[in-house]
Amino acid sequence: MKKKLLAMLFGSALILGACGGGDDTADDAADTGNDDAATEESAGESASGVDAEKVVQQKCISCHGENLEGQGNFPALNDVGSRMSEDEIRDIIENGKGAMPGGLVEGEELDAVAQWLSEKK
């Protein structure tokens, strides 16, 4: 039931996000000021622009729990940075371990998620 509700909410957010906004290209090209809000990285967003928290919500919570608290045979990730380095986390995401298959997250998303999870202490 929770997964269905989460999926419905996520789907609604995607639809509303796709429908919103207008053509902002003229405003973006004209804006050369140094806006502090625009230069700050949002929570979970890496320097590459990947929102690691969003990737984790899409690909990890079904096994590791909504709050990354772990469930069943899947370990908690909410404090994984205190147990593993960023490289160790990246290796597990890339190659898999135990019941977790490798390759669920790749490329820039892999780097961003490994970094984000390594900060969870």
pLDDT of residue 46: 60
Residue 10 has pLDDT above 80, yes or no: no
Residue 73 has pLDDT above 80, yes or no: yes
Distance CA 25, CA 11 (A): 26
What digits encode the pLDDT tens for the residues 76-116? 999 999 999 999 999 999 999 998 999 999 999 999 999 99
- Nearest C-alpha neighbor of 10 from the set 71, 69, 55: 55
More confident residue, 24 or 81: 81
- Residue pair 115/106 in contact by the 8 Å Cβ criterion: no
Is the pTM higher than 0.85? no
Q: Phi/psi zone of residue 22: left (φ > 0), alpha (ψ -120 to 50 degrees), beta?
A: beta
What digits encode the pLDDT tens for the residues 35-64? 444 434 445 566 568 899 999 999 999 999
